[in-house]
Structure 1
């Protein structure tokens, strides 16, 4: 049986040297544990004895289990990274995962809210009920900041008071790989945050620990609670679309690119290390232009009328 200690050593290196998030490290742990179980079943006793035939058998088995191509791509990446690390320690050699490539994934376009839907969400009046109106002061600041600065859920949930500079209209966030970036905060978001900061002292319970957004118990507002509050307001306002934090980030990116056409600037704002992650929004922008063309161009209208 293969020793699992090398997996533990690799995960420790990911956490301490590459500074990957606990969520990512746990995902690698699950993927590599299942892969080690497969090699045990194949009677492999040394990591370096892994063969191309076994790699293809593992991939075929995962496909038969109904694993999506995207998930399989992630698992293969985990195995490849682990074996690259073993090779640097003279244990993995020229492993078969290094050169193996699955077929390229078709990249699904992210969903976005229209500008009108965003305006409906952000400009909604406060609820009539007093307790809900109190929550709306905080929640509106959250919504405005999400859309104003394109934050990830973990970035927003991890904000502290010291990260916010409303005088300069800036917020400092800690992103993936523990990289910080300083982002502008829009005028409407500044106004909503000022209202929240005025109300925030009433939310404290037994001391201020410095988190920007608080629960009703006075503790840091959790990511799960933020997700629930966003969906609550979408239902309250009758939006037909499921609203979640990353939808607001997608909407921010799409609307910014549609207005500015500056891909590099949007990449910096989103904190993408690879511009290919940002380029997906150019496809959304093209879809918008195509729909405008079909609606406005005389020849496009003529073709559409002939087909009706």
Structure 2
């Protein structure tokens, strides 16, 4: 199988990654690694395994971190590893190590980059120790995100996802400015911005204004950890949940999309919404005024406006 497979999804807990690293995978192009490490040896074998994939084009490593461990690198750190990968078109890494050698690869052909979280960090707002006590959540700071982007030469990048923690209001301005002005082909942007200071009032208008410098954007997805959001798994009163729903649909979304309409090709903005009634989180869509049809679309509950 190793000599013919082109696409592979690996559950890290049960995969013999050490043995797989000793095989040749000449045709493998699409690799997704999920789950969590069950041994230190698995993490050590991963660089060897990746080095055996000469035609790799899509790599996704969304491995949960157990305990309160640090961020184990994928290709080792820049000071300890010489493993490299060339020709990637898409790279997804959950809770990355900014010093990981994966960010020193040749990224000149990279079209999509995701520095994300797994599981999603916004679920941690529930503060449920039964769920989270066994997982590490080493979310990047905005400065760490910026340091990774600056290490990578990505002239063709068209899609970007970032998940980060803003230490204070405005702490991520340099990151947002870099994103908006550095990638001329960027058409899809997804940001998950979390507040380190839970008292911070999110200046969402300022954030949207900074993003308007990315003139080629066609779609924007934002999770801005709004200060007045009821959050996931809220036990608030029904009336409070309804009040937030109205504010979200009638005011917050339209305000943000009105600012971002300065991007001439923008089609829509999606905002993360936590539904009090169903204890679910989803991405309602706010199309721009230049497109016909409703100004609000929630495909999960079928509502439009």
Q: Same fold (TM over 0.5)?
A: no
With a CA cutoff of 8 Å and minimum separation of 6, indicate the structure with the bigger relative contact order.
Answer: 1
The normalised TM-score by structure 2 is 0.25
Whose radius of gyration is greater, 1 or 2? Answer: 1
- Larger relative strand fraction: 2
Report the TM-score when normalising by structure 1.
0.25
Between Structure 1 and Structure 2, the one with more helix by share is 1
